[in-house]
Amino acid sequence: MKTQVGIIGAGPAGLMLAQTLRLQGIDSVILEMRSEEYVLSRIRAGVLEHPTVEFLHEMGAGDRLAREGMPHEGIDLLFRGEKRRIDFPSLTNGKKVTVYGQQEVVKDLIELKKAFDGQILFEATDVRIVDPESDSPSLSFTYQGEQKTLACEFVAGCDGFHGVARASIPESGLKLFERVYPFAWLGILAEAAPAQDELIYSRHENGFALFSMRSQEVTRLYLQCDPKEDLEHWPDSRVWDELHRRLEAKDGFRVNEGAIMRKDVTPMRSFVCETMRHGRLFLAGDAAHIVPPTGAKGLNLAAGDVKLLSDAFVAYFRSGETGPLDGYEAHALKRIWAAQRFSWFMTRLLHKDPGANAFDQEVQFADLDYYTGTEAGRRTIAENYVGLPFGWPGAA
């Protein structure tokens, strides 16, 4: 087997890369260790930035998104019982975000890949990157019980935080940065109509809570909890009590209850691997960086990486230019660090830090007052939330 770009991982990063490359006539094969059903049922992100939505349209994956995605023109920050709204269009020259589940993006992209060349091998296991430093790297793997080799010109490691791509770069060459937070999110998906049409981020005495949604019938909710939280201690009744408590607002807002379809705990971490290239291996998406979900940036950062990387591959395959590939890492890191900063900032602004003293807490409330009570503050949040332009800062 042979291809121009061998892609590891059929998450948003790998699928978007395959699609953008295909539109430019560049051939790719995706190796995914999980089954198609598993990949399609993974519930994760929900908020697409303005540049991500444009990018999905450009790559021909925008039809269902345009029909079913829910445009959002603002968010509420709730603290001390009061909701303070951040209005995106008036603060960002008309931009907004779209709520559309990550699994829907993945589904649309899998359908496109299957329709055009069918080159996604699900349940491809034991993937190993062979000779990434050479001009002819390859991927060895097991597929349907047989050992296979895929010869590639380049390898794209789009295999998420726990994948093999980053792990196959020699440790001595890795430049890593990390922060682990002393809390996690307990998330639920409920069969309940969203009680209002915009998201609410709440800073409550008992901890952070987030009200979000997936459709007119499904609400997505999160509660700050301990990273080692045992879901056994969270029967549905306790989850609802705590959500009502943390999301109570003076305007009478109340979450609608419904059957809980899923309950999970997500740890919170900030992580950057600045080494995004090793020979002919390039990392994109969660394989190179993780953000805490408070800024809704993970999937959107993956999209930004893919835009730069696909443009760089196109320049190489069209005219043999290597400059954009050489510049990929440095350029991508600018937007990655900007999103890291915003995700860290939103996390700190909205969570109850178990290590904070009374002084720290008052400073946090002063911050909340400033960022919601002044136009400069609101603009900072709005501009980052709707998404800095791809190619940041060059494209700003």
Structure token pair of residue 42: 């993974």
The listed partner (ligand PHB, ligand RFL, none) that binds 51, CB under 5 to 8 Å by sort, is none
Which string of x and - marks every residue 22-51 that binds ligand PHB (by CB under 6 A)?
-----------------------xxx----
CB atoms within 10 A of CB 378: 22
Helix, coil or strand: residue 193 = coil
Q: Give the list of residues 6+ apart from residue 112 with CB closer than 8 angstroms, or none.
A: 19, 60, 61
When asked if residue 184 is in the footprint of ligand PHB (CB under 6 A), the reply is: no
Listed residue (81, 46, 79) closest to 371, CA to CA:
79
Binding site for ligand RFL (CB under 6 A): 8-14, 31-34, 39, 44-47, 102, 127, 158-160, 163-164, 187, 266, 285-286, 293, 296-300, 302
Which secondary-structure segment (H or E) carries 285? Answer: none
Which residue lies nearer to ligand PHB by CB, 44 or 331? 44
| Nearest residue to ligand PHB on Cβ basis | 46
Beta-strand ranges (E) seen in 192-258 are 199-204, 207-213, 219-225
Nearer to ligand PHB, 301 or 309 (CB): 301
> Residue 290, interface with ligand PHB (CB under 6 A)?
no
**Which tokens is 7 given?**
């892609």
Smallest separation (angstroms) from ligand RFL to the CB of 33: 4
> Is the Cβ–Cβ distance between 7 and 305 less than 8 Å?
no
Candidates 23-31, 149-157, 162-170, 292-300: pick the segment binding ligand PHB (CB under 6 A).
292-300
Residue 53 contact partner, candidates ligand PHB, ligand RFL, none, CB within 5 to 8 A by sort of partner: none
Residue closer to ligand RFL by CB (options 57, 359) is 57
Residues in binding contact with ligand PHB, number by CB under 6 A? 9
Q: Which two tokens stand for residue 360?
A: 């720290």
DSSP string covering 44-93, please?
Answer: ---EE-HHHHHHHHHTT--HHHHHH-EEE-EEEEEETTEEEEEEHHHHTT
**What SS3 class is residue 306?**
helix
Cα(332)–Cα(199) distance, rounded to whole angstroms? 29
Q: Contact with ligand PHB (CB under 6 A): which of 3, 52, 103, 212?
A: 212
Q: Please tell me whether residue 248 adopts helix, strand or coil conformation.
A: coil
Least Å from the CB of residue 176 to ligand RFL: 17
Q: Contacting ligand PHB (CB under 6 A), which of 113, 220, 277, 307?
A: 220
Q: In this complex, which beta carbon is closest to ligand PHB, that of residue 216 or of residue 357?
A: 216
Our finding on whether 294 is near ligand PHB (CB under 6 A) is yes
Provide the minimum distance between the beta carbon of 166 and ligand PHB in the complex, in angstroms, as a whole number. 24
Answer with the entry of ligand RFL, ligand PHB, none that 132 interacts with (C-beta below 5 to 8 A by kind). none
CA dihedral 340, 343, 347, 350 (to 10 degrees): 150
**Which DSSP symbol is given to 294?**
G
Q: Which of ligand RFL, ligand PHB, none does residue 209 bind (CB under 5 to 8 Å by kind)?
A: none
Partner touching 13 among ligand RFL, ligand PHB, none, CB below 5 to 8 Å by kind: ligand RFL
Would you say 109 and 302 are in contact if contact means Cβ atoms under 8 Å apart? no
Catalytically active residues are: 72, 201, 293, 297, 385
Minimum CB separation from ligand RFL for residue 291, in Å? Answer: 7
Tokens 């359908």 belong to: 111
Residue 379's φ and ψ, nearest 5 degrees, are -65, -40
Q: Which is nearer to ligand PHB, 6 or 295 (CB)?
A: 295
Q: What backbone torsions phi and psi does residue 352 show, to the nearest 5 degrees? A: -95, 115
Shortest distance, CB of residue 210 to ligand RFL, whole angstroms?
9
* Interface with ligand PHB (CB under 6 A): 45-47, 199, 212, 220, 293-294, 296
